[in-house]
Amino acid sequence: MWLDPAVLSVPEGEVDHAALFQVNREATAKVIKKAMRHEPTIDWLLENQDKVTHYFHQLGLEGKL
């Protein structure tokens, strides 16, 4: 679970907490379902660990966040 730290600077009352909850609930359900199906496989993860990037982490590394 990742939240953009910029959410801390949003004025009180302008954050849609219900929408945040729903998005995070859906994402959590999706990853649990994938984990239960062993997706991706450990073999795939080990073979591709140097190729897979996290979109937001990469933006941070590039100074774009």
pLDDT value of residue 10: 87
Q: How does pLDDT run across 47-58, given as a tens digit for each residue?
A: 999 999 888 888
Q: How does pLDDT run across 9-65, given as a tens digit for each residue?
A: 889 889 888 998 999 999 999 999 999 999 999 999 999 999 998 888 888 899 997
Query: Residue 49 and residue 45: Cα distance in Å, rounded?
Result: 5
Core vs surface per residue 7-24: b (16+ CB within 10 A) or e: eeeeeeeeeeeeeeeeee
**pTM for the full model?**
0.63
User: Which residue do the tokens 């774009």 mark?
Assistant: 64
Single out the residue of 7, 1, 53, 54 nearest to residue 26, CA to CA: 1
